[in-house]
Amino acid sequence: MNADLHCHSTVSDGWLEPVEVVRRAKANGVDLLALTDHDELGGLALAAAAAAESGVGFVAGVEVSVSFAGETIHIVGLGIDPGNPDLIAGLRQVRAGRDARARRMSEALAAVGIAGALEGAHRFARNPALVSRAHFARHLVASGVMPDVRTVFDHYLVRGKPGFVEHEWASLEDAVGWIVGAGGIAVVAHPARYRLSAADMTRLLDRFVAAGGEAIEVVSGAHSDDEMRRFATVARQRGLLASRASDFHGEKESPVDLGRCNLLPSDLTPVWSRLI
């Protein structure tokens, strides 16, 4: 089973339209695909229709932005009902915060001599309700400020750098609650990417499970092999379901293509055992 349960389309900060994501997944041999745009469900209907047409198994997903212990955490929801009113309302609220944050980011960049960043980011954001740091980064690359997206993040868009602004996303309990309430399985996305102390990571997983969370990305396009082994151990110790996820955004920006991730360690219970 080639499952890839986390990726992005133009509905958030991916480069491909939802239908193009499905086509690429099909071409790469993906059997089961979840589209998980940031804080948005708008691509799911088109992707599901394209998947049904091309014979790719499809899971409706979302990646919710959460604030926890001063860090941004991403919680993926898999197998959600995209029509669930509480999920829709919750995500609308999270997206509304993005607007104000994008304006503050633009002001912060203007203060270090980079004018017009909000307009620039909007040129890369196909969904005006979903401006991500990735869109700012693409604009700064296109306007010649920095050579590539990774370098923009390192110099401007991470905590302590001039274009970073603190922002309060959803609470962990709300995000997991919306997902579970919509019939989905909540998954901790790319756990190795968070700058949390060991104690805060333990608290994150305790509260995630207490709120009804059940799964963790063991294999992620954002994980090294060592990180994969570390979180395989976490999944075993806590009895969590394991997910496999490229987190694909586009050919130029993503280290791992759709469906091309490592295999899950064979003793773990794959999250897709509950999705098919």
Report how many residues bind ligand AMP under the rule CB under 6 A. Answer: 10
- To the nearest whole angstrom, how small is the minimum distance from the Cβ of residue 122 to ligand AMP? 13
Structure tokens belonging to residue 11? 């509905």
Three-point CA angle 204, 150, 248, nearest 5°: 65
Q: How far is the CB of 266 from Mn ion (least distance, A)?
A: 25
> What distances in angstroms separate CA 98 from CA 37, 91, 95, one per listed residue?
14, 11, 5
Which amino acid does the sequence have at 19?
V
Q: Which residues in the 151-180 window bind ligand AMP by CB under 6 A?
A: 153
Residue from the set 65, 84, 127, 243 that interacts with ligand AMP by CB under 6 A: 65
- Amino acid type, 51: A
H or E segment and range at residue 101: helix 85-111
Task: Please give the order of strands across the beta sheet that includes 215-220.
Answer: 3-4, 32-35, 57-68, 71-78, 185-188, 215-220, 241-245
Fill in the per-residue mask, 249 to 268: x = in contact with ligand AMP (CB under 6 A), - = not in contact. Answer: x-------------------
Site string for ligand AMP, 93-132 (x = CB under 6 A): ---------------------------------------x
Site string for ligand AMP, 29-58 (x = CB under 6 A): ---------x--------------------
Angle, alpha carbons 68-69-72 (nearest 5°): 45
Q: How many CB atoms lie within 10 A of CB 239?
A: 9
Residue nearest to Mn ion (CB): 74
- Partner that binds at residue 217, options ligand AMP, Mn ion, none, CB closer than 5 to 8 Å by kind: none
Report the nearest approach of ligand AMP to the CB of residue 41 (Å). 16
Query: 10: closest CA among 125, 95, 102, 96?
Result: 125
Is position 13 an interface residue for Mn ion (rule: CB under 5 A)? yes
Residues near ligand AMP (CB under 6 A) are 13, 38, 65, 132-134, 149-150, 153, 249
Q: Which positions touch Mn ion (CB under 5 A)?
A: 13, 63, 74, 189, 247
